[in-house]
Structure formats: C-alpha cells, structure tokens
Amino acid sequence: MASSPFSLEGKIAIVTGGGVGIGRSIATEFARAGADVVIASRKIENLEPAAAEIRTLGRRSFAMALDVRQEEGVRELVERTSRELGRLDIMVNNAGASFRAKPEDISPNGWNAVVGINLNGVFFGCRWAGRQMLAQGGGVIINVASIAGIYGSTMMAHYGAAKAAVINLTRSLATAWGRQGIRVNCIAPGPVETQGYLDVLHKTTPDAQKVYDAVADRVGMGRWGRVEEIAHPCIFLASAASAFMNGATLVVDGGPPPGLGEG
C-alpha cells in the first residue's frame, strides 16, 4: 500500500519556538506524522518536556536553547541537526513574540525587539536552512506569519509590519530557490488560544475578557483557534500533499465575520 501523501515518515525537521504553544503542537504533530524533530527556543525548561514527549512517540529529538535574533545560534542549530540526524528536510520558523501598545507608544527598543524576533529570526532560519537544503538538493521551509501581516494591527503595528515582511520574504525565497528543489511557504494564523498570548492580554489589557470575547466575535466561526488547528495545516505544507505549492500564504483564521460584504 502506498504511503499517505501527508506522511512525514523518515523526515528530519526543526521547529523554532518549539517548547510551547503553536510551536510545541507543530513539533508533536510532526512526530505523530513520522518525523524526527529538533526544537529550539530561549527557555530550556520549556524545551526538555517537549523533546521528551516527542521521544515517547518513537521519534528522535533533541532541544537547543537559543535566541533566533542571534544568527550564530541559528547556524549551529541547523549544522548540529544536519550533523547528528543526517540532513534537514523541514524548517519551521515559528519563534515569535510581541506586546500590545498604541503605535505612538512603541519605543525604538520595543520596535527592534519585535522585528528582531519575528523577521530577522525568520530570515536567519531561512538563510541557514536554505544553505543546507541547497547543498543536499531540496527541502521545505515553513514560515509562521499572522493575519496581522495581511490586515494590520492597531495595537501591534510592529508585529503586523514584521509579519507582512515575512510573507514577502517567503515569496522572494520561493522564487529564488524553487528550481533548486526548495519549497518555501507561509501560514498566517488568526487568533489562536495560547498561554503566551493570554498572558500578554491579561498583563496589558484592563478588561481582558471583554477583548477576548470581542476577538472571538470577529471570527467567522465565533471562537479562537486551537494550536492543533495550526499544526495540522503545517503537516500539509511540509508533506508531499502540497508538492506544487511554493511561495503561498495559507490563511487559517476561522473565516471572515458574518455579514462581511453585505450591503
């Protein structure tokens, strides 16, 4: 029997930001689909339990603590993965962070920190994964953006700008590397219920529950997304099921609000 086109059996993957939230779900679901998965983020205390969970699924895994804003750490992540596991088939640039603020209140340091994680870190991941994949004859890169990069965000303009750049970078790299066997695609989640986002919301918003409910009301399906609802489309993008997709941005946001476009 032929294997499923959604299978990741025998593939080697890296997921940045893989210790919690969307990243951890992507890493775990990749392992369930058959991949060995290396995870990285700044906090080793989040990574070790996630790597242990992957190993309980019968897959190889190790964790590396690093800051994606520091290119040397990203280079070592890719090189160690290729050295110890033999190659790199899938790179998921998921690490990201932000904070809520009015545009006029974002300091240069705040701007640079958010752009550094959400854009520079993605570029470093693409650059070093791309070099490895060019040398081995192909691979898949998935960049995690956001609908904020498409529609903008009044309270996270720095984040929206960085994610818009990630979407454009994805197109540029797909064009540059497509004929060398490298596919570069992007996923743009809508509001997803992660502990990290909820913590930011509660720390920075006096009426957090009201904001939470208002966000859900703007989603066509009337609710926030779940982490696995982002991880499963990433399996599609990583697998042979999406073999003719390159430079695309897959929007996973629960749909437009009811009544949009009506007179």
Q: Say whether pLDDT at 142 is over 70.
A: yes
pLDDT at 28: 99
pLDDT for res 177: 99
pLDDT digits (tens, 9 = 90+) for 199-232: 878 887 788 899 899 999 999 999 999 999 999 9
The pLDDT, as a whole number, for residue 206 is 82
Q: Indicate the pLDDT class of residue 116, thresholds 50, 70 and 90.
A: very high
Encoding tokens for residue 1?
């029997």
Closest listed residue to residue 174, CA positions, set 236, 242, 231, 114 = 242
Burial class (CB in 10 A: 0-12, 13-18, 19+), 76: middle
CB 18 within 8 A of CB 40: yes
pTM of the predicted protein model = 0.95
The answer to whether 212 is a known catalytic residue is no
Instruction: List domains and CATH numbers for the chain.
Output: 12-190+228-247 (3.40.50.720), 194-224 (no CATH)
For the chain, the average pLDDT equals: 96
Distance CA(68)–CA(75), nearest Å, equals 10
pLDDT the model gives residue 204: 76
Residues of the chain with pLDDT > 90, as a percent, come to: 90
Which residues partner with 93 through β-bridges?
Answer: 143
DSSP-derived 3-state class of residue 100: coil
CA-to-CA dists, residue 54 to 39, 84, 195, 253, angstroms: 10, 17, 20, 27
